[in-house]
Amino acid sequence: MALRIPTISSSHGLASSPAPISTTCRPAVLAVGSSWAAAAVQKRSLLLAMTASETRGVAPLRSSGIETTSVGAAAEAVTGQVTEVNKDTFWPIVEAAGDKVVVLDMYTEWCGPCKMMAPKFQEMSEKNLDVVFLKLDCNQDNKPLAKELGIKVVPTFKILKGGKVVKEVTGAKIEELAHAIDTVKSG
C-alpha cells in the first residue's frame, strides 16, 4: 500500500495546510454489488449515526494530553477550562458570554508551536475564572470562520469583549497573551 505523505511548510499559514493522507491501493470506481463497497457504505452509515447521537451534548475530548470540552447543541460560555468550538458553535458561545472576556486559540493539529501553547493555554483558563477560553482547529471544516476572523498564521489568539475582537496575539508568546488578557479585563 502506497501512502502520500503531505509536506508541511514551516510558515504555519493556512495556505500551507497539509493535504489529507490518501492511499492509492483501492480503485476509484467500485463495481455495483461489490461486497467491499457495501461494507464501506454500511460502516459509513453507522459512523454517521453514532456521530449524530454523540454530538447532542457536551463531550469531553483529549487533545495533546489536555482535557477540553466539545460543545454540542447547547451554546454555553464555560469558565475554568478550554472549550473546543467550530464554525457553528463559536458565535453562539461568544454571544452567551455577554460582557465576559473571551479568548480564542486558533490552532492546527500539525503546528508545533500550537502544541507547545496548549498546556499553557489550559493553565491560563484554570487561573482566569472570569474569562471564557475557546479553541478552534483551523481545519478545512472551520476555514470559513478562520477566514472571517482574519487568521494568517497559527497559533493566533483573538481576544473578544462584547462580541468584538479587541486584541490579537500571534505566535507562541504566552507572556504577551497574558498581558493582553489583563489589559482587556481591566479596560
| Residues recognised as catalytic | 111, 114
Whole-number Å distance between alpha carbons of 163 and 168: 14
Amino acid letter for position 65: G
131 Cβ contact partners less than 8 Å away, ≥ 6 residues apart? 79, 100, 101, 102, 103, 124, 125, 181, 185
**Adjacent-strand bridge partners of 160:** 102, 165
Which parts of the chain fold into alpha helices (H)? 35-54, 90-97, 112-127, 143-148, 174-186
Give the CA-trace dihedral at 46, 137, 14, 12, to 10 degrees: -120
SS3 of 30, please? coil
